[in-house]
Chains A and B, each alone.
Chain A
């Protein structure tokens, strides 16, 4: 396994933009197809937004550690926070037939990623791991041929 690319941003919504740009560069570097890269960035952005909102509750001094991994056929990301631990059993997307604001972020993560796992087996905070299998056609070079 190659070494991950690691990025730490403050738990402050002002830095989500910066995080997205770095993650997009990482996926472009690995020639992940543009549409899929956009969706993967969205999932990580939504996860960071949940950390800012629910784990840190507005304390912008706390870090969000993002580790990006890429193998031949899989992308995965680890997001580590040190805030309030989440109860994975209570994290559920809202039913989509209810047209109302909110609750879509978790739906995006579950729908786009192959696996979403919350680990709270630690003294503080949560480690969220999201995985996505990549097929040949998910890479830009293959898409052009």
Chain B
């Protein structure tokens, strides 16, 4: 089972990547391809909407950490939206909730980018 990655760019140079499906060792390369393709377009910020991601494993989280590293290296924003409670638990166990900027909605994530 793959994951769908929908990429939208708004007028302010903010890219939103909406993910749909379970992210595991099999599907995380698709997410990585969608994400790293945006690094080259030099957006002001990348927002990853995960409200339709019911499951993520360590390979998926590793991909998101790459986004975080891109943001730190380039002085850009990298934000996550819509983590369900199970996915949020996994981020908590990895002690990454304090590291990522996590928001409830795209609108909230767009504030201050």
Interface residues of A (CB under 8 A from B): 13-14, 16-17, 20, 34-35, 38-39, 41-42, 45-46, 49, 52-53, 96, 99-105, 107-108, 111-112
Q: Contact string, B78-97, partner A, CB cutoff 8 A, digits 1/0?
A: 00000001100110011110
B1 within 8 A of A: yes
B25 within 8 A of A: yes
Contact of A53 among B1, B25, B68, B99 (CB under 8 A): B25
Q: A14-B26, A49-B24, A101-B62 are in contact. Are A35 and B86 (CB under 8 A)?
A: yes
Q: Are B93 and A108 in contact (CB under 8 A)?
A: yes
Residues of B within 8 Å of A53, CB to CB, are: 25
How many B residues have CB within 8 A of the partner chain? Answer: 25
Residues of B within 8 Å of A52, CB to CB, are: 25
Contact of A17 among B26, B86, B90, B93 (CB under 8 A): B26
Q: Are B25 and A108 in contact (CB under 8 A)?
A: no
Q: Please report the C-alpha to C-alpha distance between residue A49 and residue B63 in the assembled complex, in whole angstroms.
A: 15
Q: How far is the CB of B113 from chain A (nearest CB, A)?
A: 21
Q: What is the interface of chain A mostly: helix, strand, loop, or mixed? A: helix
Q: A16-B26, A111-B93 are in contact. Are A42 and B57 (CB under 8 A)?
A: yes
Residues of A within 8 Å of B62, CB to CB, are: 101-102, 104
Residues of B within 8 Å of A102, CB to CB, are: 58, 62
Q: Are B58 and A46 in contact (CB under 8 A)?
A: yes
Residues of B within 8 Å of A101, CB to CB, are: 62-63, 65-66, 69
Residues of A within 8 Å of B53, CB to CB, are: none
B103 within 8 A of A: no
B55 within 8 A of A: yes
Q: Are B58 and A99 in contact (CB under 8 A)?
A: no
Q: How far is the CB of B64 from chain A (nearest CB, A)?
A: 9
Q: Are A99 and B57 in contact (CB under 8 A)?
A: no
Q: Are A35 and B68 in contact (CB under 8 A)?
A: no
